[in-house]
A and B are shown apart, each in its own frame.
Chain A
């Protein structure tokens, strides 16, 4: 069954698609599962035929402190990003933001090596990643819990560049990704 009518109650330039509803929406693009520690995980040559991207990450740090999962798009290491978060740590709820950053991050997603077998997790949604008219805004829900402390965070980030995203480089704020860390990239069909 299809939606046969899709409207905007507005002015010119409305675009609507009628498509068969029984199409296949979410496809895995690539996964990296580490058999040993590694400094970075990257996805390159990302197909441009999806509408949105989703990243599902499960990670651990090789250091003795919890680390952020950080990333950059298309090799851009300049101060072209902003980041914001809404965080709970068991003691209170906090929010903060920063402009002109050189990266986007998911706070405290990579659990310290001190807690054996404990990994943090985050789900990252990047909408309209291939749209050439829009800066790229991402939304992330993630956190970590180690039975002594924990953080649950709604993060966001923006890459101030209208170029389509063709690559993503992930890395920890310090140290390496530990063994069995996994990052999976999915495409959500256009």
Chain B
């Protein structure tokens, strides 16, 4: 029996950080993708977002989010490649955001929607958490995912793991 839930690839950012983490040549024989990120970026603020390029593109994107900042809840929307809150470098040291993206039917010939739940943590009242609904209005199968910081670099010890879920009955 082929396994349902498989790890496809994993990376850990080394010393000096990186400008992006890219998963290329994503196998096309799964049904859904799950991307888990434990990450921190170099921007000197508490809020540090992750951005996502799909198949090397940044266009045809929409999202809507719900956010908490440790004091109040808010909601917004946009069309850039923002996918989640992350962890900026003004947060408590050695602390990394916990982010999960779920891409159903990533190889289908329909547009691609996905779900994101993300939390940054900080040993203070202020910290950010988000739920995102995102859409890439493109019928191409997803073959490449690139995670980028909104500014600066993704810091050492950040990790990203890509999993495939296969429906094979």
Contact = CB atoms under 8 A, between A and B. Distances in A.
B68 A25 contact: no
B8 interface: yes
A40 interface: no
Interface residues of A, number: 61
B44 interface: no
Given A3-B9, A82-B124, A138-B98, A22 B20 contact: no
Interface string B75-118: 00000000000000000101111101000000000000000011
Interface string B32-48: 00001110000000000
A162 interface: yes
Contacts of A5: 24-25
Contact of A128 (B5, B38, B67): B38
A9 B98 contact: no
A26 B129 CA distance: 26
B23 interface: yes
Given A97-B127, A127-B159, A157-B121, A14 B96 contact: no
Q: For this complex, into which size category does the number of interface residues on chain B fall?
A: 35 or more
Given A14-B14, A133-B94, A133-B157, A9 B20 contact: yes
A90 B72 CA distance: 16
A interface majority secondary structure: strand
A137 B25 contact: no
Contacts of B98: 125-127, 137-139, 156
B73 to A, nearest CB: 4
Given A16-B9, A135-B96, A11 B17 contact: yes
B121 A158 contact: yes
B121 A93 contact: no
Contacts of B27: 1-3, 21
